[in-house]
Structure 1
């Protein structure tokens, strides 16, 4: 701690991460995998300590009036910690992308060019509430030979400190440098803004959280940002949709875990389908204790429901609230999604192959579904072991970001004395 006092925490830990990254990049797949398994075992062994720290965060959050959906994101239990450990073990079993040869070719002058995957260096992770992200980010970065500098929110500080201490303890008993994982404990906004400008120390920033957080990072950062996005997601029920399937998917997409970004916020319904099955859909949502914001077009049929406004179409509730939009055509549904959606996850429930093809072609989002819940937009569900976030941008990575998204490339050029004329 004396060294940290001499030099402020922000820069001191950034330098530690940069130095660790140089060593980490040379570690073998076996060394990285063994470290991941050691961390998983230590998480399970220290579950009680982590839960005790998490309870401090929970109690503080309740005193500060945190809503139930955010409390759910913050809360840890034995099952969630075990799932975090399982994700690390799954990562250890996955192929290591570092060193993969992507392309190779020979030029007419005899130069042989090869493109390979390499680590990015130091990844800066900026996130809110969810302490499981601490483990996911550390695991994905370590597997890809990257150091990670974590900046969580004040609401999860005690949980994050406990988890990072467990991770660093395990690293100290492995072949990977302990300083590969750093946690910025100063959660002030002023220090966060400095964190976003650590050029030369952090190679890329990944924000994960509310749209407000993501916009702040994008606007304030001078470091490249790998943008994750908010999730204003939709299910479109086409006129040919099977009613039981449609209602089941809507309920799962909304209620399975309302506080996360791949939950739907609006269900769009073809008016022909709604005229027959609309009451069944609304009744099912009511039974599931979901508050409906109903399209003005059909508001007279449901006088007890709140009428949807323009703001509702654009809102990411992250709660048991849903907007209900009525459309006459698939093109109207596509237009609504492309206007209000956040390019995250969108689903069509339909038996019309042409409509499905049109939806897949013209809806602009990272992940599109046919007859399935949007809740599957997740690194673990995609077989990635874990995810660093879900990218809604179009450069470098899009959708759930696993190991490959945390790599860069390097060209290796072999010659035998060539000079350029």
Structure 2
């Protein structure tokens, strides 16, 4: 059933917004077992063979802990609304301010992850936005239970349940809503695979922030600490394969000292973690691993126990290759040479760049934001994790006493 309301919600006080968030944290704790049991229905109903999808779908005690931590942290953060960005006193006495302001209504379309139903709604609500949640059919039971808790938290704090709404639409209904929304939508965030993103961009009639693919790279520069490099690669590849910040490609400087020993050790460690290893022409020939069949594989995000290893001539070659093939998400250089690292980090066109660290840190909570609505690979209006302070626009406040121009 379509929503027909067009009335904009009146901004709640920061005290009221925080109270709702803390109430939600309490309800998540209280309903922990029920959430996990209901999630089992979604898990049992899932018939696909996508292990990353299944991993994102699953809710366990650790996942509930993360949900609780997310909304609790949001409640502790400063109000992102009304923050002064600029002020100016005109010669004629006009006092001018530019301040942050909520977007209004945000629609997020996402796949599989029930924790997004907590985190995205919490960030939107705290930043004064109404949120429309359109989750995937595979997580329907979990999502509806969590939205039920949002509505309970809102009611108990005497706030309208319309702040958080769930759109139980099929694909055809979703397309119709994108093309002819029955209420004003100010911003859409698709969070999922490339097909979902393309679908939303094709049919949406308002601004879209793309939470794009990962396809992240690590470059092992010739002055790398090899023990560190091995540790970073194994973590970035195997810690959580379903994450968009997981590693897909490794580039190795051809002048790396002890290169053969390092690559053999890397291959051995990756195989011990059941990672399928593919190599470019040089690596596959010299280290007896399967060769890539086409350069197109350099564009792919795997979300699986799979990795491509290649050799490059220099830092500049690594930069060129990453900028050509990556998803613009995250890239890391392992090196003791800060000059090479600076060149790499300044010239790689990704939302997050690292020296001597795993790409797995590209995450709102890990980068100090507390949580994230999504990780944007767009450059406007926000790049990288979209946290509480980013889900705002701005407007001008001008105070006068009869001035005319």
Aligned residues: 402
- How far apart are 1:276 and its partner, in Å? 4.2
- How far apart are 1:66 and its partner, in Å? 3.2
- How far apart are 1:360 and its partner, in Å? 1.3
Partners of 2:111 and 2:135 within 8 A in 1: yes
Residue 133 (structure 2) pairs with residue 150 (structure 1): yes
CA RMSD between the two structures: 1.4
2:192 equivalent in structure 1: 209
Provide the C-alpha distance between the structure 2 equivalents of 1:369 and 1:315, rounded to a whole number of angstroms.
21
Partners of 1:270 and 1:326 within 8 A in 2: yes
Structure 2 residue corresponding to 1:32, chosen from 1, 14, 17: 17
2:247 equivalent in structure 1: 264
- How far apart are 1:200 and its partner, in Å? 5.4
SS state at 1:116 partner: strand
Partners of 2:216 and 2:327 within 8 A in 1: yes
Cα offsets for 1:314-366 (capped at 9, x unmatched): 11000110011111111110011000011111100011122111101111011
Provide the C-alpha distance between the structure 2 equivalents of 1:190 and 1:282, rounded to a whole number of angstroms.
46
- How far apart are 1:306 and its partner, in Å? 4.4
Provide the C-alpha distance between the structure 1 equivalents of 2:70 and 2:193, rounded to a whole number of angstroms.
24
TM-score of the pair, normalised by structure 2 = 0.96
Structure 1 residue corresponding to 2:359, chosen from 374, 387, 398: 374
2:371 equivalent in structure 1: 386
Partners of 2:332 and 2:356 within 8 A in 1: yes
Cα offsets for 1:363-418 (capped at 9, x unmatched): 10111000000000001111111100011111121111101221111101011111
Task: Single out whichever of 275-284 and 162-171 deviates more from structure 2.
Answer: 275-284
Partners of 2:107 and 2:188 within 8 A in 1: yes
Provide the C-alpha distance between the structure 2 equivalents of 1:415 and 1:65, rounded to a whole number of angstroms.
62
Residue 260 (structure 2) pairs with residue 278 (structure 1): no
1:11 equivalent in structure 2: 3
Structure 2 residue corresponding to 1:44, chosen from 29, 33, 40: 29
SS state at 2:227 partner: helix
Cα offsets for 1:146-191 (capped at 9, x unmatched): 11000011111111111111111111101432111000112x1111
TM-score of the pair, normalised by structure 1 = 0.93
- How far apart are 1:254 and its partner, in Å? 0.6
Task: Single out whichever of 297-306 and 279-288 deviates more from structure 2.
Answer: 297-306
Partners of 2:277 and 2:289 within 8 A in 1: no
Provide the C-alpha distance between the structure 1 equivalents of 2:3 and 2:172, rounded to a whole number of angstroms.
14
- How far apart are 1:72 and its partner, in Å? 0.4
Structure 1, unpaired ranges of 5+: 1-8
Residue 285 (structure 2) pairs with residue 303 (structure 1): no
Cα offsets for 1:254-280 (capped at 9, x unmatched): 111011100111011112223341111
Residue 333 (structure 2) pairs with residue 348 (structure 1): yes
Structure 2, unpaired ranges of 5+: none
Residue 183 (structure 2) pairs with residue 196 (structure 1): no
SS state at 2:2 partner: helix
Partners of 2:102 and 2:129 within 8 A in 1: yes
Provide the C-alpha distance between the structure 2 equivalents of 1:336 and 1:308, rounded to a whole number of angstroms.
17
Cα offsets for 1:72-95 (capped at 9, x unmatched): 010001221121011100111111
Residue 217 (structure 2) pairs with residue 234 (structure 1): yes
